[in-house]
Structures are given as C-alpha cells and as structure tokens.
Structure 1
Amino acid sequence: MSKRSRRAAPAQGAVRPTVTVCRGCCCGSPKIAGLDHAAQLRELRTELAGRATVRVTDCIDACDQANVIVVQPSAEGRRAGGRPVWLGLVNDADATGDIRAWIEDGGPGLADPPAVLDLYAFTPSRRVRAELPEQ
C-alpha cells in the first residue's frame, strides 16, 4: 500500500486564499537589504484582512528564492483548478502590491495574476512543497 493511499482525504479547503510568508533563516532577515520585512508583512495583513488568511512560517527551505510567499487558493479557487503559487525574490513593495491586487481579485483559480508575477513564480522541489501545510 502506498503512503498516499493511507493518508486522510484532503481537507475541503479554506474559504479564503491563504498567503504564507516565509520568515525563516534567509527570508525576512537583514540578508535582503533595503526591504522593510515588518512593513511587507503588515501591508499584507492589513490590506488582505477579511479577504485572505495571512500566516507566517519558519524556513520552508527555498532560501535561494528569499523572500518567499506562497499563495494557496480558496476552496472555490481550488475547485476551479487553482493550485498553490510559489513566488520568490519578493523583495520590493511593487511585488507585494501585485500579490495583494491578485488576491483581491480572487487569487489562484479565480483570477489571473498580474503578468509581472510570472517573473517571481518558481516551482520548488516536491520535498519542499510537501513541507508547506495544507490550508
């Protein structure tokens, strides 16, 4: 029997999109000069209040892409085909604003991201993806 078949059925998903902000060893550290990490997180939490769940996690082992933000779809977005989107090198206010605008429009599965976010998107290894908890 495979590991996959022994797992519980996946959760139905969150009502709202989930934004996971890495603040581990490299993300959110002085290693990324010129970025106010606290302001970035505060902006996401303030501007997305009621629209998305914003959470902080320790290192998710994608340090070469610091700062990493993962946007997970809402249950409705997942039903529409949306999947988690990993964004790396999110080190300026414009990128944070683009992420915020996308989520305000519905996020993965419900709205196309601004084209500029294609420059930030990356695919982590299967091992790294597995470390991010489901919504």
Structure 2
Amino acid sequence: MSRRTRREASAGAPASPCTVTVCRGCCCGTEAKHPGVDHLGQFSRLKEGVGDAGRVRAVPCLDVCAHSNVVVVNPSSEGRRAGGRPVWLGWVVQEDMVEEIVDWVRAGGPGVAEPPGTLDLQEFAVSRRVRESLDSGS
C-alpha cells in the first residue's frame, strides 16, 4: 500500500491515540540489570499519567538490550498525519524521564509536540528489522 493510499484510508478511520510501548524482556524491567529501579511502579505511573491521552502496553522484548530500559512512543493518528514517527527512547530509568514521557503524550506526542526537557537525549535509532518486529505485534 502506498503512503498516499494509507493516508487516504486513515483519513476516514477513527482517531487513534499515542501508544507507549514499554519493553519488559530479558534486560528491561529487571532488578538484575537495573537494581533499585521500581519497574512495576514506573509502568503504573506511565499508565496512570497517560490516562485517556494514549495507550500504554508492555511487550516481552524489543531486541535492543544495550539501550535498556526501552520505551517506544508511537504517534497518534494526528501525529502520523503531521509526519510523526515512532520514537525509541533508551535508558529510561529515572522518574523524571517517566514524567517527561507522560507530559509529551499528554501534549500530543510525536508529530504534534516536541519532546519535553532532555527526553530527546534518550532517543536512539533502531534497525529496520527491529522496527518491523514491533509493527507486527512483537
């Protein structure tokens, strides 16, 4: 399907919010890799903070363990129409990072709002293979 065809198809589709995907695989979200980090608490704060502004989900492994803890912020349908693309964030272990993700999603997320604070310093690029595995419902 071409980009134009996708755009036309999504024009009549109901709006979808930002989706925040939190890796909770072999390295991310583990006490062994990040002792002292309240992983369950972080996930709960993301879900509660994002609320109705988006969707938060956990997945087993995103296959980018060198960047643990990994969070991917996918744009809303509005953000995609504005050119927003998924943003991969690594080393999300501090509470202020969680709060910045919440603030960003509540402001509209990728394509709609700039990432707050120093969140852009956590961004990293992934291979096409890894991106596609997330798109396919990894």
**Residues in 1 aligned to 2:112 and 2:101: alpha-carbon distance in whole angstroms:** 14
- Asked if structure 1 preserves the Cα contact closer than 8 Å seen for 2:80 and 2:111, the reply is yes
Paired residue for 2:53, among 51, 54, 65?
Answer: 51
Distance 1:89 1:132, change over 3 A: same
Match in the other structure for 2:73: 71
With normalisation by structure 1, the TM-score equals 0.88
- Structure 1: unaligned runs, 5 residues or longer: none
Deviations 1:79-115 (A, max 9, x none): 0010000000001101111111111110000001114
Paired residue for 1:38, among 35, 40, 60?
Answer: 40
Distance 1:114 1:134, change over 3 A: farther
Deviations 1:11-62 (A, max 9, x none): 8386100000000000000111121000000001111111101011011100
Match in the other structure for 1:29: 30
Match in the other structure for 1:127: 129
Q: Could you tell me which amino acid in structure 2 is paired with residue 55 of structure 1?
A: R
With normalisation by structure 2, the TM-score equals 0.86
Distance 1:107 1:134, change over 3 A: farther
Matched, 1:62 2:64: yes
Alpha-carbon RMSD: 2.1
Number of aligned residue pairs: give it: 129
Identity %: 50
Q: Following TM superposition, by how much is the alpha carbon of 1:133 offset from its aligned partner in structure 2, in angstroms?
A: 2.3
- Structure 2: unaligned runs, 5 residues or longer: none
Name the structure where helix makes up a greater proportion of residues. Answer: 2
Match in the other structure for 1:108: 110
